Structure 1
Amino acid sequence: MRVYIPSTFPLLDLACHTGEFGPAPLVAYAVTPALREWYTDGDDEELEYAAMAQAARASVGLLAADPGAQRRRVVVACEMSAIPPADGTVELGDARLELHVVVPWRTVAAVHIDAVDAAGIVGKAADLWDAAQNGDDDAIFALDSCEGEDLLWYATQEIPDLLAAEGPCGGSRA
Protein backbone atom coordinates (compact mmCIF):
# COMPACT_ATOMS: atom_id res chain seq x y z
CA MET A 1 0.00 0.00 0.00
CA ARG A 2 1.23 3.48 -0.79
CA VAL A 3 1.52 5.94 2.09
CA TYR A 4 2.33 9.61 1.86
CA ILE A 5 4.58 11.15 4.49
CA PRO A 6 4.43 14.94 4.84
CA SER A 7 7.92 16.39 5.01
CA THR A 8 10.17 19.41 4.47
CA PHE A 9 13.53 19.79 2.76
CA PRO A 10 15.46 19.46 6.05
CA LEU A 11 13.49 16.35 7.06
CA LEU A 12 13.93 14.84 3.59
CA ASP A 13 17.65 15.54 3.74
CA LEU A 14 17.88 13.89 7.16
CA ALA A 15 15.97 10.79 5.99
CA CYS A 16 18.07 10.53 2.85
CA HIS A 17 21.27 10.58 4.91
CA THR A 18 20.11 8.35 7.80
CA GLY A 19 18.23 5.90 5.59
CA GLU A 20 14.90 6.22 7.39
CA PHE A 21 12.01 8.44 8.40
CA GLY A 22 11.52 8.49 12.12
CA PRO A 23 11.30 8.30 15.01
CA ALA A 24 7.98 6.57 15.42
CA PRO A 25 5.18 7.39 15.65
CA LEU A 26 4.97 9.06 12.25
CA VAL A 27 1.98 10.76 10.70
CA ALA A 28 1.28 9.50 7.21
CA TYR A 29 -1.63 9.54 4.79
CA ALA A 30 -3.08 6.72 2.70
CA VAL A 31 -6.28 5.47 1.14
CA THR A 32 -8.03 4.59 4.39
CA PRO A 33 -11.51 3.10 4.75
CA ALA A 34 -12.70 6.54 5.91
CA LEU A 35 -11.32 8.15 2.75
CA ARG A 36 -12.75 5.43 0.50
CA GLU A 37 -16.17 5.78 2.12
CA TRP A 38 -16.13 9.57 1.63
CA TYR A 39 -15.15 9.35 -2.07
CA THR A 40 -17.55 6.54 -3.00
CA ASP A 41 -17.37 7.39 -6.71
CA GLY A 42 -13.60 7.90 -6.78
CA ASP A 43 -11.31 5.44 -8.52
CA ASP A 44 -7.99 4.35 -6.98
CA GLU A 45 -6.06 7.14 -8.70
CA GLU A 46 -8.43 9.81 -7.37
CA LEU A 47 -8.24 8.33 -3.88
CA GLU A 48 -4.43 8.32 -3.98
CA TYR A 49 -4.47 11.95 -5.08
CA ALA A 50 -6.81 12.87 -2.21
CA ALA A 51 -4.49 11.16 0.30
CA MET A 52 -1.46 12.93 -1.16
CA ALA A 53 -3.30 16.27 -1.01
CA GLN A 54 -3.93 15.76 2.71
CA ALA A 55 -0.23 14.98 3.21
CA ALA A 56 0.70 18.13 1.27
CA ARG A 57 -1.53 20.17 3.57
CA ALA A 58 0.17 18.60 6.59
CA SER A 59 3.53 19.55 5.08
CA VAL A 60 2.50 23.20 5.43
CA GLY A 61 2.09 22.58 9.16
CA LEU A 62 5.63 21.21 9.31
CA LEU A 63 6.87 24.31 7.50
CA ALA A 64 5.07 26.48 10.05
CA ALA A 65 7.00 24.71 12.80
CA ASP A 66 10.34 25.25 11.01
CA PRO A 67 10.65 28.89 9.90
CA GLY A 68 14.12 28.22 8.46
CA ALA A 69 12.91 25.53 6.05
CA GLN A 70 12.46 26.32 2.39
CA ARG A 71 8.82 27.25 1.78
CA ARG A 72 7.95 24.35 -0.51
CA ARG A 73 5.76 21.40 0.40
CA VAL A 74 7.39 17.98 0.34
CA VAL A 75 5.46 14.70 0.26
CA VAL A 76 7.26 11.37 0.26
CA ALA A 77 5.42 8.42 -1.32
CA CYS A 78 6.40 5.08 0.21
CA GLU A 79 5.35 1.51 -0.49
CA MET A 80 4.51 -0.22 2.78
CA SER A 81 3.50 -3.84 3.16
CA ALA A 82 1.08 -3.34 6.05
CA ILE A 83 -0.86 -0.36 7.32
CA PRO A 84 -2.36 -0.32 10.81
CA PRO A 85 -6.15 -0.18 10.97
CA ALA A 86 -7.79 3.08 11.96
CA ASP A 87 -8.51 3.38 15.67
CA GLY A 88 -12.13 4.40 15.14
CA THR A 89 -11.64 8.10 15.91
CA VAL A 90 -11.08 9.24 12.32
CA GLU A 91 -13.57 11.44 10.53
CA LEU A 92 -15.19 10.52 7.26
CA GLY A 93 -12.80 11.45 4.42
CA ASP A 94 -9.70 11.38 6.63
CA ALA A 95 -6.61 9.75 5.13
CA ARG A 96 -4.45 10.25 8.26
CA LEU A 97 -2.62 7.30 9.80
CA GLU A 98 -0.17 6.99 12.63
CA LEU A 99 2.70 4.65 11.84
CA HIS A 100 4.36 3.08 14.87
CA VAL A 101 7.49 2.12 12.98
CA VAL A 102 10.33 3.99 11.34
CA VAL A 103 10.00 3.98 7.57
CA PRO A 104 13.12 2.76 5.74
CA TRP A 105 14.41 4.87 2.84
CA ARG A 106 14.26 1.77 0.61
CA THR A 107 10.43 1.99 0.71
CA VAL A 108 10.44 5.43 -0.97
CA ALA A 109 8.80 5.22 -4.38
CA ALA A 110 8.89 8.93 -5.26
CA VAL A 111 8.99 12.40 -3.77
CA HIS A 112 6.58 15.20 -4.65
CA ILE A 113 7.78 18.80 -4.19
CA ASP A 114 6.41 22.23 -5.01
CA ALA A 115 8.02 24.16 -7.83
CA VAL A 116 10.25 27.03 -6.72
CA ASP A 117 7.66 29.61 -7.82
CA ALA A 118 5.13 28.21 -5.32
CA ALA A 119 7.28 29.33 -2.37
CA GLY A 120 5.39 32.62 -1.92
CA ILE A 121 1.96 30.99 -1.71
CA VAL A 122 3.19 28.14 0.48
CA GLY A 123 5.17 30.50 2.69
CA LYS A 124 2.12 32.68 3.32
CA ALA A 125 0.08 29.60 4.22
CA ALA A 126 2.83 28.42 6.61
CA ASP A 127 2.95 31.85 8.25
CA LEU A 128 -0.81 31.72 8.80
CA TRP A 129 -0.98 28.02 9.79
CA ASP A 130 -1.90 28.63 13.45
CA ALA A 131 -4.59 31.12 12.51
CA ALA A 132 -6.03 28.64 9.99
CA GLN A 133 -6.14 25.94 12.67
CA ASN A 134 -8.11 28.39 14.82
CA GLY A 135 -10.69 28.98 12.06
CA ASP A 136 -9.55 32.35 10.66
CA ASP A 137 -11.20 32.59 7.23
CA ASP A 138 -8.37 34.54 5.57
CA ALA A 139 -5.80 32.06 6.88
CA ILE A 140 -7.89 29.12 5.69
CA PHE A 141 -8.11 30.75 2.26
CA ALA A 142 -4.30 31.10 2.19
CA LEU A 143 -3.94 27.42 3.14
CA ASP A 144 -6.49 26.34 0.54
CA SER A 145 -4.61 28.38 -2.09
CA CYS A 146 -1.73 25.90 -1.88
CA GLU A 147 -3.98 23.27 -3.44
CA GLY A 148 -3.81 25.20 -6.71
CA GLU A 149 -0.08 24.49 -6.90
CA ASP A 150 0.94 21.20 -8.48
CA LEU A 151 3.56 19.07 -6.82
CA LEU A 152 6.41 17.97 -9.07
CA TRP A 153 7.39 14.29 -9.17
CA TYR A 154 10.94 13.14 -8.46
CA ALA A 155 12.27 9.58 -8.71
CA THR A 156 14.25 8.32 -5.73
CA GLN A 157 17.55 8.40 -7.63
CA GLU A 158 17.03 12.15 -8.25
CA ILE A 159 16.67 13.07 -4.58
CA PRO A 160 20.37 13.23 -3.58
CA ASP A 161 21.12 15.54 -6.53
CA LEU A 162 18.03 17.64 -5.78
CA LEU A 163 19.08 18.02 -2.15
CA ALA A 164 22.63 18.91 -3.15
CA ALA A 165 21.33 21.56 -5.58
CA GLU A 166 19.09 23.04 -2.88
CA GLY A 167 22.02 23.34 -0.45
CA PRO A 168 22.47 22.04 3.09
CA CYS A 169 19.20 20.91 4.63
CA GLY A 170 17.12 22.18 1.75
CA GLY A 171 18.85 25.44 0.98
CA SER A 172 17.33 28.89 1.11
CA ARG A 173 13.78 29.87 1.88
CA ALA A 174 13.20 30.96 -1.71
Structure 2
Amino acid sequence: MRVYLPCTLPALAAAVEAGGLGPAPLIGYAVTPALTEWYASGDIEELEYVALTEAARASLRMLAADRADGVDAPPRRVVIAVEVPDRSVIVRAELEERARVQLSDVVPMTKVAAVHVDDLDAAADVDAALAALPAADEGDDDARFTVDGAEAHELMWYATQEIPDLLRP
Protein backbone atom coordinates (compact mmCIF):
# COMPACT_ATOMS: atom_id res chain seq x y z
CA MET A 1 0.00 0.00 0.00
CA ARG A 2 1.22 3.50 -0.80
CA VAL A 3 1.40 5.65 2.35
CA TYR A 4 2.44 9.30 2.55
CA LEU A 5 4.46 10.17 5.66
CA PRO A 6 4.79 13.80 6.75
CA CYS A 7 8.36 14.82 7.45
CA THR A 8 10.83 17.69 7.58
CA LEU A 9 14.29 17.97 6.03
CA PRO A 10 16.06 17.43 9.41
CA ALA A 11 13.88 14.37 10.08
CA LEU A 12 14.60 13.06 6.57
CA ALA A 13 18.34 13.44 7.22
CA ALA A 14 17.96 11.52 10.50
CA ALA A 15 16.01 8.76 8.72
CA VAL A 16 18.69 8.43 6.05
CA GLU A 17 21.36 8.18 8.74
CA ALA A 18 19.34 5.60 10.70
CA GLY A 19 18.43 3.63 7.59
CA GLY A 20 14.70 3.96 8.17
CA LEU A 21 11.72 5.95 9.38
CA GLY A 22 10.67 5.35 12.95
CA PRO A 23 10.11 4.61 15.69
CA ALA A 24 6.74 2.96 15.17
CA PRO A 25 3.92 3.72 15.30
CA LEU A 26 4.11 6.26 12.48
CA ILE A 27 1.21 8.45 11.39
CA GLY A 28 0.70 8.63 7.65
CA TYR A 29 -1.95 9.24 5.01
CA ALA A 30 -3.28 6.85 2.39
CA VAL A 31 -6.30 6.04 0.27
CA THR A 32 -8.62 4.66 2.95
CA PRO A 33 -12.20 3.40 2.65
CA ALA A 34 -13.40 6.60 4.37
CA LEU A 35 -11.53 8.76 1.84
CA THR A 36 -12.85 6.73 -1.08
CA GLU A 37 -16.42 7.01 0.22
CA TRP A 38 -16.10 10.77 0.85
CA TYR A 39 -14.53 11.45 -2.58
CA ALA A 40 -16.58 8.90 -4.51
CA SER A 41 -16.11 10.55 -7.91
CA GLY A 42 -12.31 10.58 -7.72
CA ASP A 43 -10.00 8.14 -9.42
CA ILE A 44 -7.01 6.63 -7.62
CA GLU A 45 -4.66 9.45 -8.67
CA GLU A 46 -7.02 12.08 -7.28
CA LEU A 47 -7.42 10.13 -4.04
CA GLU A 48 -3.65 9.77 -3.66
CA TYR A 49 -3.29 13.51 -4.23
CA VAL A 50 -5.74 14.16 -1.38
CA ALA A 51 -3.71 11.85 0.89
CA LEU A 52 -0.50 13.62 -0.16
CA THR A 53 -2.08 17.01 0.59
CA GLU A 54 -3.13 15.88 4.07
CA ALA A 55 0.43 14.67 4.70
CA ALA A 56 1.75 18.07 3.56
CA ARG A 57 -0.54 19.77 6.12
CA ALA A 58 0.87 17.49 8.81
CA SER A 59 4.39 18.33 7.63
CA LEU A 60 3.67 22.02 8.23
CA ARG A 61 2.76 21.17 11.84
CA MET A 62 5.95 19.12 12.18
CA LEU A 63 7.93 22.14 10.96
CA ALA A 64 6.20 24.31 13.58
CA ALA A 65 7.03 21.76 16.30
CA ASP A 66 10.67 21.55 15.16
CA ARG A 67 11.04 25.31 15.28
CA ALA A 68 9.37 25.48 18.71
CA ASP A 69 11.99 22.96 19.87
CA GLY A 70 14.81 25.10 18.46
CA VAL A 71 15.53 22.88 15.44
CA ASP A 72 16.84 24.84 12.45
CA ALA A 73 14.35 23.44 9.95
CA PRO A 74 14.22 25.00 6.47
CA PRO A 75 10.74 26.25 5.51
CA ARG A 76 9.95 23.39 3.16
CA ARG A 77 7.23 20.80 3.66
CA VAL A 78 8.37 17.22 3.08
CA VAL A 79 6.27 14.13 2.37
CA ILE A 80 7.81 10.69 1.97
CA ALA A 81 5.92 8.19 -0.18
CA VAL A 82 6.49 4.62 1.00
CA GLU A 83 5.28 1.21 -0.14
CA VAL A 84 4.39 -0.98 2.83
CA PRO A 85 2.50 -4.25 3.29
CA ASP A 86 -1.23 -3.78 3.93
CA ARG A 87 -0.88 -5.75 7.16
CA SER A 88 1.30 -3.03 8.70
CA VAL A 89 -1.31 -0.30 8.08
CA ILE A 90 -4.04 0.48 10.62
CA VAL A 91 -6.74 2.86 9.39
CA ARG A 92 -7.16 5.77 11.80
CA ALA A 93 -9.33 7.93 9.54
CA GLU A 94 -11.24 10.60 11.39
CA LEU A 95 -13.82 13.10 10.14
CA GLU A 96 -11.28 15.81 9.36
CA GLU A 97 -8.54 13.45 8.27
CA ARG A 98 -10.21 10.71 6.23
CA ALA A 99 -6.86 9.49 4.89
CA ARG A 100 -5.13 9.08 8.28
CA VAL A 101 -3.43 5.75 8.95
CA GLN A 102 -0.95 4.37 11.43
CA LEU A 103 2.01 2.18 10.52
CA SER A 104 2.82 -0.49 13.06
CA ASP A 105 6.38 -1.04 11.88
CA VAL A 106 9.51 0.99 11.25
CA VAL A 107 9.85 1.69 7.52
CA PRO A 108 13.28 0.93 6.05
CA MET A 109 14.60 3.46 3.53
CA THR A 110 14.45 0.70 0.91
CA LYS A 111 10.63 1.03 1.04
CA VAL A 112 10.74 4.73 0.10
CA ALA A 113 9.27 5.22 -3.37
CA ALA A 114 9.76 8.99 -3.67
CA VAL A 115 10.05 12.21 -1.70
CA HIS A 116 7.87 15.28 -2.26
CA VAL A 117 9.34 18.63 -1.15
CA ASP A 118 8.44 22.28 -1.49
CA ASP A 119 10.40 24.19 -4.10
CA LEU A 120 12.62 26.96 -2.74
CA ASP A 121 10.10 29.47 -4.17
CA ALA A 122 7.57 28.34 -1.54
CA ALA A 123 9.78 29.29 1.43
CA ALA A 124 8.24 32.73 2.09
CA ASP A 125 4.69 31.33 2.00
CA VAL A 126 5.64 28.39 4.23
CA ASP A 127 7.29 30.78 6.72
CA ALA A 128 4.15 32.95 6.70
CA ALA A 129 1.97 29.86 7.21
CA LEU A 130 4.11 28.77 10.15
CA ALA A 131 3.73 32.20 11.76
CA ALA A 132 -0.04 32.20 11.15
CA LEU A 133 -0.69 28.64 12.33
CA PRO A 134 -1.53 29.44 15.99
CA ALA A 135 -4.04 32.13 15.00
CA ALA A 136 -5.51 29.86 12.31
CA ASP A 137 -6.04 27.18 14.95
CA GLU A 138 -7.92 29.76 17.02
CA GLY A 139 -10.29 30.39 14.10
CA ASP A 140 -8.81 33.55 12.58
CA ASP A 141 -9.96 33.56 8.94
CA ASP A 142 -7.09 35.76 7.73
CA ALA A 143 -4.59 33.42 9.36
CA ARG A 144 -6.31 30.41 7.77
CA PHE A 145 -5.99 32.13 4.39
CA THR A 146 -2.26 32.56 5.02
CA VAL A 147 -1.88 28.90 6.01
CA ASP A 148 -3.78 27.88 2.89
CA GLY A 149 -1.30 29.97 0.89
CA ALA A 150 1.37 27.35 1.53
CA GLU A 151 -0.94 24.73 0.02
CA ALA A 152 -1.08 26.72 -3.20
CA HIS A 153 2.44 25.44 -3.86
CA GLU A 154 2.71 22.00 -5.41
CA LEU A 155 5.29 19.74 -3.82
CA MET A 156 8.08 18.75 -6.17
CA TRP A 157 8.72 15.04 -6.82
CA TYR A 158 12.16 13.58 -6.15
CA ALA A 159 13.41 10.07 -6.82
CA THR A 160 15.12 8.24 -3.97
CA GLN A 161 18.56 8.70 -5.53
CA GLU A 162 18.03 12.48 -5.31
CA ILE A 163 17.61 12.45 -1.51
CA PRO A 164 21.30 13.25 -0.87
CA ASP A 165 20.96 16.35 -3.09
CA LEU A 166 17.94 17.50 -1.04
CA LEU A 167 19.92 17.23 2.18
CA ARG A 168 22.91 19.28 1.01
CA PRO A 169 22.96 22.79 2.53
TM-score (norm 1): 0.88
Among residues 80, 85, 101, which one is paired with 2:84 in the alignment?
80
Structure showing greater relative contact order (alpha-carbon pairs closer than 8 Å, 6 or more residues apart): 1
How far has the Cα of 1:155 moved from its partner? Answer: 0.3
How far has the Cα of 1:116 moved from its partner? Answer: 0.3
**Residues 76 and 123 of structure 2 are in contact (CA less than 8 Å); yes or no, is this contact kept in structure 1?**
yes
How far has the Cα of 1:61 moved from its partner? Answer: 0.3
State the number of aligned residues. 164
Task: Measure the CA separation in 1 of the matches of 2:152 and 2:144.
Answer: 14
Q: Give ranges in structure 2 of 5+ residues lacking alignment.
A: none
Among residues 117, 136, 140, which one is paired with 1:136 in the alignment?
140
**Residues 29 and 95 of structure 1 are in contact (CA less than 8 Å); yes or no, is this contact kept in structure 2?**
yes
Q: For residue 72 of structure 1, what is the amino acid of its counterpart?
A: R
How far has the Cα of 1:162 moved from its partner? Answer: 2.2
Among residues 111, 115, 121, which one is paired with 2:119 in the alignment?
115
* Bigger mean CA offset, 138-147 vs 6-15: 138-147
Task: Measure the CA separation in 1 of the matches of 2:7 and 2:61.
Answer: 9
Among residues 152, 161, 164, which one is paired with 1:160 in the alignment?
164
**Residues 39 and 93 of structure 1 are in contact (CA less than 8 Å); yes or no, is this contact kept in structure 2?**
no
Partner of 1:172: none
Percent identity (aligned):
54
Task: Measure the CA separation in 1 of the matches of 2:23 and 2:138.
Answer: 28
SS for the counterpart of 1:75 is: strand
TM-score (norm 2): 0.91
1:6-41 CA distance string (max 9 Å, x none):
010000111111111111221100001111111100
Task: Measure the CA separation in 2 of the matches of 1:16 and 1:85.
Answer: 24
**Residues 90 and 103 of structure 2 are in contact (CA less than 8 Å); yes or no, is this contact kept in structure 1?**
no
**Residues 54 and 97 of structure 2 are in contact (CA less than 8 Å); yes or no, is this contact kept in structure 1?**
no
Task: Measure the CA separation in 2 of the matches of 1:93 and 1:14.
Answer: 27
Q: Give ranges in structure 1 of 5+ residues lacking alignment.
A: 168-174
How far has the Cα of 1:145 moved from its partner? Answer: 1.2
Partner of 1:171: none
Root-mean-square deviation (CA, aligned residues, Å) is 1.5
Partner of 1:106: 110
Task: Measure the CA separation in 2 of the matches of 1:92 and 1:59.
Answer: 16
Q: For residue 89 of structure 2, what is the amino acid of its counterpart?
A: P
How far has the Cα of 1:130 moved from its partner? Answer: 2.3
Find out whether 1:90 has 2:97 as its counterpart. no
Partner of 1:53: 53
Partner of 2:26: 26
